[in-house]
Amino acid sequence: MNTLLTISMITREALRVLENNLTFTKQINRQYDDKFGVEGAKIGTVLNVRKPPRYLGRTGQALQVEGATETQVPVTLNTQFGVDLQFSSQDLALSIDDFSDRFIKPAIATIANKIDADGLALYTSIYNAIGKPGTTSGTGSIDDLFTYLSAGVRLDNGACPMDGLRSIVLTPFAQASIVNALKTLFQQASAIASQYVKGQMGTAAGFDWYMDQNCATHTTGTIAAASATVNGANQTGSSIATTGWTSGDTLKIGDIVQFAGVYSVNPQSRQSTAILQDFVITADVTTTTTATLSISPSIIVSGANQTVSNSPASGASVQVWGSATTSTYSNKTSPQSMAFHRDAFTLVTADLPLPGGVDMAARVSDKQLGMSIRMIRAYDINTDLFPCRLDILYGWATLRPELACRIAG
């Protein structure tokens, strides 16, 4: 007698395959979903993740009470993605292994790649940037270990914990380039010898290294000017007025700019790092001779949440992607590898509702993995077929951009 696969068997296998097909997603924080397991979530549901307050501290005996100001990052469940399948009753008589190989793995690979790609698209929220857009070799490029060490410096300067939770996710070409340049450095870590993770190169320079084909590609704006400057002194906040552009110059979301004389600070000590602060453009802009740039991080020059050493002086030069002139990296295309701590990003999934009036419906949720996947099966009496749908509802967010660094090239 045939033993037909139950929908719970299929769904549990689907969740296992999904988790095993994620690379970037495996390395980020998925513990913030405080509503995990609550039924009825839908697109638009928002979870707010609290970030701990920062304090200045005091010197001396006199009490100086500081206000505790918590901030939060909204994580919106804004993507419902799935794959629709159709099985025959004969298909359902297969063993779970055969069924998984024929049907589930190809479908789940599609879902996993979508989740992973959406996470890596968060590069546009990351302001720390290393490497040379459009350049793949030479000093400071993706085949130079100093590039990756410099990414580690950016994380160090952002008070990133040294707790073994730092990772680098590379494009396939970046992986080939650095492994070829450093053939003798990368060895499979003994700690994972018995449980090798697909895509991992090993451990070096303070990071676990992985390859992910879903790394995003960024094309910088088109810039003709070489003399853009800050237009007005003492500017703070998330926008800054500039001048000296050529009319029609463009800056794109994800472009990086620096302002001469404005340095990053350590978020705990608030001491200058002597490295120019990178700012990421957060809204596309087409210039006249002037332009107001929307930027992150906000320019904050004092207090517990200070981000920079000082505001830019009027007339301070605007450098695009750290170049000597603003036009050096005009219209350059480069894949975006990423160095990051686990807590830089988060992925939230939630339980989709199980409808009635269908042949079968099941859901598997795993709080440890931070994943929930639903499968619904109907039956077509005319064709003896079982149309099915796999769905996952999720949302990505950048929690602490200072704990990540883009690597271009």
Digit-coded pLDDT (tens) for 350-367: 788 788 878 778 777 666
* Alpha-carbon separation of residue 158 from 20, 52, 307, 321, 404 (angstroms): 31, 15, 10, 19, 9
Q: What are the tokens at 405?
A: 């660094």
- Please state the domain extents for the chain: 1-52+72-185+197-216+334-409, 221-331
Contacts of 45 (CB under 8 A, 6+ apart): 35, 76, 77, 350
Q: How many C-beta neighbours within 10 Å does residue 123 have?
A: 24
* Alpha-carbon separation of residue 286 from 210, 218, 221, 230 (angstroms): 37, 17, 9, 16
Helix axes 172-181, 145-157, angle to 10 degrees: 110
Per-residue confidence at 155, pLDDT binned at 50, 70, 90? very high
As a CATH number, domain 221-331 is 2.40.30
Q: Which CATH number fits domain 1-52+72-185+197-216+334-409: 3.90.1690, 1.10.1060, 3.30.1380, 1.10.287?
A: 3.90.1690
Instruction: Assess whether pLDDT exceeds 80 at residue 371.
Output: no
- Residue 190 CA to its chain's centroid (Å): 28
Pairwise CA distance, residues 314 & 231, whole Å: 6
Position 32 scores a pLDDT of 52
Per-residue confidence at 195, pLDDT binned at 50, 70, 90? very low
Per-residue confidence at 199, pLDDT binned at 50, 70, 90? very low
Instruction: Assess whether pLDDT exceeds 60 at residue 191.
Output: no
Instruction: Assess whether pLDDT exceeds 70 at residue 147.
Output: yes
Kindly report the average pLDDT of the chain as a whole number: 79
Q: Which residue has the higher pLDDT, 373 or 2?
A: 373
Cβ proximity of 267 and 54 under 8 Å: yes
Digit-coded pLDDT (tens) for 258-301: 999 999 998 888 889 999 999 999 999 999 999 999 999 999 99
Position 328 scores a pLDDT of 61
Position 198 scores a pLDDT of 43
Digit-coded pLDDT (tens) for 203-258: 777 888 888 888 999 998 888 866 899 999 999 999 999 999 989 989 999 999 99
pTM above 0.85, yes or no: no
Position 217 scores a pLDDT of 92
Q: Beta partners for 290?
A: 243
Q: What is the mean pLDDT of residues 390-397?
A: 87
Cβ proximity of 372 and 306 under 8 Å: no
Digit-coded pLDDT (tens) for 61-106: 677 666 666 677 778 888 888 888 787 777 766 665 666 677 777 7
Digit-coded pLDDT (tens) for 99-138: 667 777 778 788 888 888 999 999 999 999 988 777 766 6
Q: What is the mean pLDDT of residues 304-318?
A: 91
